[in-house]
């Protein structure tokens, strides 16, 4: 049997009714300038990892509804364009456009294919090491809008690049639909760190569709942070490690408040010998539901892959469903997984209490540790956000 890259992507999440519910972003108000943003919106962006004041960013891209309000990047060695411009400039991006995801995957990919609003194109030139991250923001500003995005990120041979993407909705908006197709190409010896922050309104539906391809000696590190929940998220990026010694690591920190349903995870197909992968998720439910998936597929010898799902339920009615899957097609692989869900072990709390900590202090120490996954290049503002979530934990107990 031929295990092509799309072979595994069989699950169909199509939902035509959902598409009907929302107004296309292209048909609503098109803000012209970021200057129109109110203070609370800028605060919101900051909470989503987007900082318009710091000099420590290589470039900034902001798309609101269907309009690109900002697309600035002065730095040499890296290119930042809206995807519509990039398609013109590079003659349809033939080698990259819909190459890692099928347009026919489900109703959302079809929608993004036919009714594209815009998206970003980022490319680090060969050998360029971009020190500060580029930040991109996908923002829905009006009620009940469907935003359809397609992004392409390319780290050319030997380059290094960091991207922070913040996806959010207007602070007073409750309902919306975000469809985001993203394709990441990490070429030989390149390194890409991608941090995605979700900060949605209560009734927002989120449908990212992501494909990643990592070549020989390439490194892809993904951080996904979603601390505020959403009505429904389905996020299941698939990375293919296509060249020897390629590496992909996915970290996620997810908090599900009451009323949110977050189905997330990652799949890594280890196709080349010596490739390595790690999927680590930390999830907390305050009453919402989280499905934490992980699927490692070992197709070549001498690979190493590990999956770790840890979930804490801190409120009644919370559901955490960990689905770790290991699939080896050859004998010479080192693949493992570890999953644990439940409440904080009483023994751990009491251990800290024996050192003099109150029950609350002990709990927050453990939760803080729980959320402390290695997050490379996480902006300070986000670290603060993480801490605030920890404080929330007391209330949930």
Partner 1 sequence: MLQIEDLWVEVRGREILKGINLQIGTGETHCLFGKNGSGKTTLLVTLMGFSGYKVKHGRILFKGEDITHLPINERAKLGLGLSFQRPPTLRGVKLKNLLALFDKKSDAGVQLAADYNFEDFLGRQVNLGFSGGEIKKSELLQLLAQGPDLSLLDEPESGVDIENLDVICQMIRKLLQKEVRKNRQKSGLIITHTGLILNYVNADRGHVMLNGQIYCHGNPRDIFERIRNYGYEECAKCRLFEQGF
Binding positions for partner 1, rule: CB under 8 A: 310, 345-348, 350-359, 361-362, 365-366, 368-373
State whether residue 44 is helix, strand or coil.
Answer: helix
Residue 282 CB, nearest approach to partner 1 (Å): 8
Q: Is residue 190 classed as helix, strand or coil in its secondary structure?
A: coil
Burial class (CB in 10 A: 0-12, 13-18, 19+), 355: exposed
Residue 382 beta carbon to partner 1: minimum distance, rounded to whole angstroms = 17
Minimum distance from residue 373 beta carbon to partner 1 (Å): 8
In the complex, what is the shortest distance from the CB of residue 253 to partner 1, in angstroms, rounded to a whole number? 11
d(Cα 233, Cα 204) in Å, to the nearest integer?
8
DSSP assigned state of 17:
H
The answer to whether the CB of 255 falls within 8 A of the CB of 228 is yes
Name which of 11 and 355 has its Cβ closer to partner 1. 355
Shortest approach of partner 1 to residue 114 CB, angstroms?
Answer: 44
By C-beta, is 201 or 324 nearer to partner 1?
A: 324
Q: How far is the CB of 18 from partner 1 (least distance, A)?
A: 37
Whichever of 319 and 344 has its CB closer to partner 1, that residue is 344
With respect to partner 1, which residue has the nearer C-beta, 327 or 361?
361
Q: Given the complex with partner 1, which of 34 and 339 has the nearer CB atom?
A: 339
Minimal CA–CA distance to 48: which of 396, 274, 397, 385? 385
* Rounded least distance, CB 34 to partner 1, Å: 38
CA distance 217 to 241: 10
Element (H, E) at 341: strand 333-342
* Residue 257 C-beta: closest distance to partner 1, Å: 22
Query: Residue 303 CB, nearest distance to partner 1 (Å)?
Result: 23
Residue placing its CB nearer to partner 1 in the complex, 12 or 388: 388
Cα 133 from Cα 89, distance rounded (Å): 24
Using an 8 Å Cβ cutoff, are 44 and 167 in contact?
A: no
Residue carrying structure tokens 């033939």: 94
The bridge status of strand 59-64 relative to strand 67-73 is antiparallel
DSSP assignment of 129-163: B--SPEEEEEEE-STTEEEEEEEEEEE-TT-EEEE
Angle of CA points 324, 152, 283, to nearest 5°? 30
Nearer to partner 1, 34 or 352 (CB): 352
Torsion sign, CA atoms 295, 181, 76, 166: negative
Which of 329/384 has CB closer to partner 1?
A: 384
**With contact defined as beta carbons under 8 Å apart, do 320 and 311 qualify?**
yes
Instruction: Give the nearer residue to partner 1 in terms of CB position, either 21 or 358.
Output: 358
């Amino acid at each position: 049997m031929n295990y092509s890259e799309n072979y595994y992507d069989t699950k169909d999440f199509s939902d035509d009714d959902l598409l009907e519910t929302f107004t296309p972003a292209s048909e609503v108000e098109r803000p012209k300038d970021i200057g129109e943003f109110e203070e609370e919106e800028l605060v919101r962006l900051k909470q989503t990892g987007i900082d318009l004041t710091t000099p420590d960013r290589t470039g900034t891209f902001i798309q609101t509804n269907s309009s690109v309000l900002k697309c600035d990047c002065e730095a040499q060695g890296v290119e930042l364009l809206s995807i519509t411009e990039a398609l013109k400039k590079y003659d349809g991006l033939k080698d990259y456009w819909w190459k890692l995801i099928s347009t026919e995957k489900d109703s959302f990919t079809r929608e993004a294919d036919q009714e594209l609003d815009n998206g970003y194109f980022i490319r680090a030139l060969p050998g360029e090491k971009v020190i500060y991250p580029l930040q991109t923001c996908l923002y829905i500003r009006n009620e009940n809008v469907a935003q359809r995005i397609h992004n392409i990120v390319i780290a050319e041979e030997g380059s290094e690049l960091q991207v922070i993407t913040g996806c959010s909705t207007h602070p007073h908006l409750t309902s919306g639909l975000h469809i985001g197709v993203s394709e990441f190409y990490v070429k030989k010896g390149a390194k890409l760190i991608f941090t995605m922050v979700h900060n949605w309104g209560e009734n927002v539906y989120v449908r990212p569709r992501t494909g990643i391809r990592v070549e020989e000696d390439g490194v892809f590190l993904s951080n996904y942070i979603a601390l505020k929940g959403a009505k429904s998220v389905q996020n299941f990026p698939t990375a293919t490690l296509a060249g020897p010694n390629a590496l992909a690591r996915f970290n996620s920190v997810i908090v599900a408040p009451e009323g949110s349903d977050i189905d997330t995870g990652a799949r890594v197909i280890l196709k080349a010998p010596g490739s390595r992968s790690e999927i680590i998720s930390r999830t907390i439910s305050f009453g919402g539901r989280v499905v934490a998936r992980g699927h490692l597929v070992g197709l070549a010898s001498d690979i190493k892959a590990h999956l770790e799902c840890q979930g804490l339920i801190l409120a009644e009615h919370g559901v955490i469903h960990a689905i770790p899957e290991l699939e080896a097609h050859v004998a010479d692989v080192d693949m493992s997984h570890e999953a644990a869900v439940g409440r904080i072990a009483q023994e751990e709390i009491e251990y800290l209490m024996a050192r003099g900590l109150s029950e609350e202090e002990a709990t927050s120490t453990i939760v803080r540790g729980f959320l402390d996954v290695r997050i490379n290049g996480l902006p300070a503002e986000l670290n603060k956000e993480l801490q605030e979530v920890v404080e929330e934990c007391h209330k949930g107990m």
